[in-house]
Amino acid sequence: MIQILSSSKKKAAVLFSLLTLGAVIFAAFTGGFLRIPQKPFIVIRVDDIQDFAFRDAQLFLLKHSAETNLPLSLAVIAGMFGQDADILDAVQLAVASGCEVGVHGWEHENLANLSMKEQMTILFQAKSRIKELLGVDTQLLIPPMFGFDNNTISAMYEESYTIISTCADLHEPSSISGIKNIPATVELSTLLNDIWQMKSIDTISAEVEKSIELYGYAAIVTHPQEFISNGQINQTARESYINLLAKLSETHQFTTFEKLNLQI
């Protein structure tokens, strides 16, 4: 015997089928068997943040970050920071917009040349000054000149630092005595005869992809002085930087070392 459904029953059956299909699709995406791939992570590390030096370039990088909500990792020379009101205001605004702050020494000294006691003093003073000026309890050390030794790691542990960022050419990304090493893997520019030359967008993009293939992330290191030519901001470098970030943002996501540490 064939049962003929009424019009209302047919509509109910169709609605039930659609709801069931929707639930299956939702479960597939949230349950993991059809997950959307996550964009690879990139950190933009800006070294040598300090009072008065290369001001136009520093202000450009900091204000661009705040205006575009681009998180930067700011390597602050703590003993040479806080007297330049414009730089201080720009860093405070950048931090409020999502940037992180790391210690880049007290006066840009090579930590590897100092005793453990001297290094502990520098790390304590730098952390305290950044906390006082920016309200940030930083856990990140970015050693000047990429210089550190076993005493640095011990001093970091004693002063509650958890992340060190050097350069991948010197140290592979790994955990060192409980301190996470997350080095820069790409340099924005090359230095030849004391002249900075920013790499092409295609070259940097290729190096970023190679880094992600090797390490699972990319960290691009730059300095304000790379954007200065004849005492003024280099407009070509400025525009190239903006265009590079726009291109990378299409297929990658920007983050900080502290957030990246939770992902890798």
Structure confidence at residue 208 (pLDDT):
98
Domains held by the chain: number: 1
Is 11 inside any structural domain?
Answer: no
Q: How confident is the model at residue 21 (pLDDT cuts 50, 70, 90)?
A: very low
Is 20 a residue whose pLDDT tops 70?
no
Return the higher-pLDDT residue of 4 and 245. 245
Is 204 inside any structural domain?
Answer: yes
**What CATH number does residue 242 fall under?**
3.20.20.370
Question: To 10 degrees, the CA torsion angle through 20, 26, 30, 31?
Answer: 30
Is 178 inside any structural domain?
Answer: yes
Structure confidence at residue 12 (pLDDT):
45
Is 24 inside any structural domain?
Answer: no
Domain span at 92: 41-260
For the segment 104-112, the average pLDDT, to the nearest whole number, is: 98
Structure confidence at residue 165 (pLDDT):
97
Structure confidence at residue 263 (pLDDT):
86
Is 191 inside any structural domain?
Answer: yes
Is 27 inside any structural domain?
Answer: no
Structure confidence at residue 36 (pLDDT):
60
Structure confidence at residue 178 (pLDDT):
85
Structure tokens of 189?
A: 């520019």
Structure confidence at residue 35 (pLDDT):
54
- The residue among 264, 258, 260, 261 whose CA lies nearest residue 101 is 258
Is 26 inside any structural domain?
Answer: no
For the segment 30-40, the average pLDDT, to the nearest whole number, is: 63
Per residue in 174-223, pLDDT (tens digit) is: 778 889 999 999 999 999 988 999 999 999 999 999 999 999 999 999 99
Is 32 a residue whose pLDDT tops 50?
no
Per residue in 152-165, pLDDT (tens digit) is: 999 999 999 999 99
Share of the chain above pLDDT 90, in %: 80
Is 36 inside any structural domain?
Answer: no
